[in-house]
Every structure is written in C-alpha cells, then in structure tokens.
Copies of this chain bind each other. A is one copy, B any other.
Amino acid sequence: MSILVVGSVALDSVETPFGTAERVLGGSAVFFSAAASLLAPVRIVGVVGDDYPMEMLDFLVEREVDLSGIERAAGESFFWAGRYSYDLNSRDTLETRLGVFADFRPRIPEAFKDSRLVFLGNIDPVLQLDVLDQVRSPEVVVCDTMNYWIEGSRVALLELLGRVDILMVNDAEARQLANDHNLLRAARWIQERGPEFVVVKKGEHGAILFGPDWMFFVPGFPLEVVFDPTGAGDSFAGGFMGYLSSVCSPTADDYRRAMVYGSAMGSFAVENFSVERFQTLVNGDILERIMEFKEMTTFEHQLQEPHV
C-alpha cells in the first residue's frame, strides 16, 4: 500500500563535530521517503526550485518512490544550514532560505488521491488541512508539527487535530501544544481533541506511543557515534508508516512494531550525513536492528513470593 507524504524537499548544509556536508539532500519528505521506501512504495508531494539536483533522488525512484508530485518552480530550493554543538544536543540555525517553499501550495496529483496512508510533514496546518481535502478516503493520517505553528496557527492546528489519526511530535512540542509539562497528561489532552494516538519522540531517550487505553515505549538505539542528528524524526515517521503500510487494519501489536521500526530508522538516519545511510541500508540491517531492540527491551517475569 503506497504512502503519500507531503513536506519539504530541501538542501541542507550541516556542520557536526565529525565534519561538514554542503548542499546535501534534506527536508522532511526526503528523509521520510528514504526510510519508508525500504518498506513500502511512497508518493511525494512537494516543491523544489530549478537548482535542485533531481538526479540525487534517483535512488528513491529505484525503490518505487513516485516523484511526480514534486513541482518544479522557478527560483531557489528550500535551503537550511545549521551547526550542531559538540555533544549534538543543540544546534544553531546558520541560515534558512525558504525559496520556492514559501509559496508551496500542495497539489495532490489525481493518481495520488486514493492514498490510504498519509503523512503530513511539518508545514502550515492550513496547508495540511488542504491536503486532507484533496485525498479521497485516507485510512491512517499521521501529522507532524512544530512550535512555530503551535504558536502562530493554533486555530488551524486544533481543527487539523480533529481530522488526523496520529499526531507525531517531539516532547517539547507535545508539552507546548497542551500547555502541560506532564507528558502523559499532555498526550491525553491532545487525544481528547481528535487523534486516537499520539507519538511523542524524545530523541536519544526513545519514543512513547499513547494509545486509546495503553502505551508503548521504545528506547532510542544507543550508538557509539551519532554522526548527524538531522532528519531523525522524519526517518522515524518513515519507519513507522512504512511498517504500517504492510498491514491491513493495524492492531495494537502492529502499532507497537511500527514504533520499533520508527526508532530503528531514526537510529540509522543519524549514522551518517543526510540520507546517506539509507542508500546502503539493506533489509538484513533493519531486521538485525529490530532484533537488537527486542533483546534490549524484553524481560520475562516469574512470579515472586512476597517478602512481607
């Protein structure tokens, strides 16, 4: 089952303690697709300028990523430059040039309108709503957002919440949206406004899925070297939805597995610059990591006699 992703298709220049990458592939739709396409066919809707090196997306085409929804506009592509701190826990934005992305109005191609799985990358909630108006009968809509929209487009964002199945944000965003520091209460607040599930991503600390009356926790995969954190969250989303696309009516167990695929893809993303790790990744690598997650989290419980 194909996944529709709507989001940014960008170029990034990144400095980390390990090196520098200039004008490499970036953007939410690209990271999402690089991860998800290892598990499922993907359809991208986005916009690039006439400077975009489309040939660099060839590896996605080979994996059944349909790029026909990427509009080419006159002007410059979305460009972001950033520098990470030595411990990779914070980053400074050195430059952001929206370019043609500033006027992005997602147009879903006719052939994409039957998409059942939809990922709304981090764009204006007004546009995210517009995407949902164009898709005929989506079954699972997953939505990302950020502080900028939580502060500036709250009304549209709350309307959007009523139409998405899963909100997938980081812990700071969940807290800000619900105006509650407690994550559990924040998730419940969000669920009351629409989404059946809330996925809270916590970077190296893992992620929590808040379901209707249950929760699931997946750790971040411990790595000796985190090379470049850019795109980890969108890669998580790609792994999550890529896994979901393989099942018909997802059960609680499917959502659990999807979380593990998400965390696995997030961990691969940070092992190299841009989407480079996904270009060499094979199915065996993914399965191996999934089993490592299982090893890291499984315990058997024997009943114990009480001491008192």
Q: Is the CB of A299 within 8 A of B257?
A: yes
Contact with B along A210-247 (1 / 0, CB 8 A): 00001111010011111000000000000000110010
Closest to A63 in B: B308
Q: Do A298 and B298 touch across chains, with their CB atoms under 8 A apart?
A: yes
Asked whether A280 is an interface residue with its Cβ less than 8 Å from the other chain, the reply is no
CA distance A306 to B226 in the complex (A): 26
List A37-72 residues whose CB lies under 8 Å from chain B.
37-41, 62-64
- Given contacts A184-B222, A206-B205, A224-B185, whether A37 and B307 have CB atoms under 8 Å apart is yes
Q: B299 and A283: CB pair below 8 A?
A: no
Closest to A300 in B: B253
Interchain CB contact under 8 A, A184 and B246: no
Contact between B307 and A64, CB atoms less than 8 A apart: yes
Known: A215-B222, A219-B206, A303-B287. A37 touches B298 (CB 8 A): no
| CB < 8 Å neighbour of A307 from B38, B86, B206, B296 | B38
Q: Is A153 an interface residue (CB 8 A)?
A: no
In the docked arrangement, what's the CA distance between A202 and B217, Å? 15
The chain B residue with its CB closest to the CB of A284 is B306
Interface size range on A against B: 35 or more
Chain B: minimal CB distance from A268 (Å)? 15
A183 at the interface (CB under 8 A from B): yes
Give the docked Cα–Cα distance between A216 and B242 (Å). Answer: 26
Inter-chain contact B291/A223, CB cutoff 8 Å: no
Question: Is the pair B216, A299 in contact by a Cβ cutoff of 8 Å?
Answer: yes
Chosen A-B contacts, 24 in total, with CB atoms closer than 8 Å, are A41-B307, A64-B307, A88-B181, A182-B225, A185-B224, A205-B205, A205-B206, A206-B206, A208-B222, A215-B222, A216-B297, A217-B219, A217-B297, A243-B304, A246-B304, A256-B299, A259-B299, A260-B299, A260-B301, A283-B306, A287-B303, A290-B301, A291-B301, A297-B299
